[in-house]
């Protein structure tokens, strides 16, 4: 299974016709002060599916790291594709809850399969005084 895309977003909405709307693409989060507990951190992941991926269990891990590469939070993700899964891609929308941020600076969101990092997303945690609105946590 290959990860086509990975995004940090504010919200994901799925419509009845199967369309997925990604709201608020994020690389930066602004806060008045730290520490803060972010209520939720939403991700959109899209995997390319091969014939061998169908009918089997898949596991990945999402890690949030601080500027010193220390682990902030980790979440295992497990899913199974049905044997008759017909789409060429498999979208996932994992959400991490109550993510603590103690320091401003460049954090990272890692998507891992086994020991391999398949994607590393930057996530800047910045003070609100830069003129951006705050994110409620």
Q: Is the pLDDT of residue 40 over 80?
A: yes
DSSP designation for 66: -
pTM of the model: 0.87
Domains plus CATH for the chain? 2-130 (2.60.40.1930)
C-alpha 18, offset from chain centre: 21
Task: Write the Ramachandran bin of 14: left for phi over 0, alpha for psi from -120 to 50, otherwise beta.
Answer: beta
- Where residue 18 falls among pLDDT bands split at 50, 70, 90? confident
pLDDT digits (tens, 9 = 90+) for 100-124: 999 999 999 999 999 999 999 999 9
CA 132/CA 76 separation, integer angstroms: 32
**Mean pLDDT taken over the chain:** 93
pLDDT band at 6 (very low <50, low <70, confident <90, very high): very high
Residue 130 has pLDDT above 80, yes or no: no
* pLDDT band (50, 70, 90) for residue 1: confident
Q: Is the peptide bond before 35 cis (omega within 30 degrees of 0)?
A: yes
Distance, in Å, from the CA atom of 85 to the CA atom of 75, rounded to the nearest integer, reads 25
H or E stretch covering 89? strand 89-92
């Amino acid at each position: 299974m290959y990860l086509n895309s990975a995004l940090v977003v504010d919200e994901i909405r799925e419509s009845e016709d199967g369309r997925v709307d990604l709201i608020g693409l994020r690389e930066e989060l602004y806060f008045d002060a730290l520490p803060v507990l972010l209520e939720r951190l939403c991700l959109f992941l899209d995997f390319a599916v091969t014939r061998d991926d169908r009918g089997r269990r898949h596991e990945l891990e999402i890690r949030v790291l601080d500027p010193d590469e220390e682990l902030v939070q980790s979440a295992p993700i497990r899913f199974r594709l049905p044997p008759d899964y017909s789409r060429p891609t498999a979208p996932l929308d994992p959400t991490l809850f109550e993510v603590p941020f103690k320091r401003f600076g460049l954090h990272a969101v890692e998507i891992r399969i086994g020991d391999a990092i398949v994607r590393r997303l930057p996530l800047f945690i910045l003070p609100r005084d830069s003129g951006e609105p705050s994110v409620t946590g």
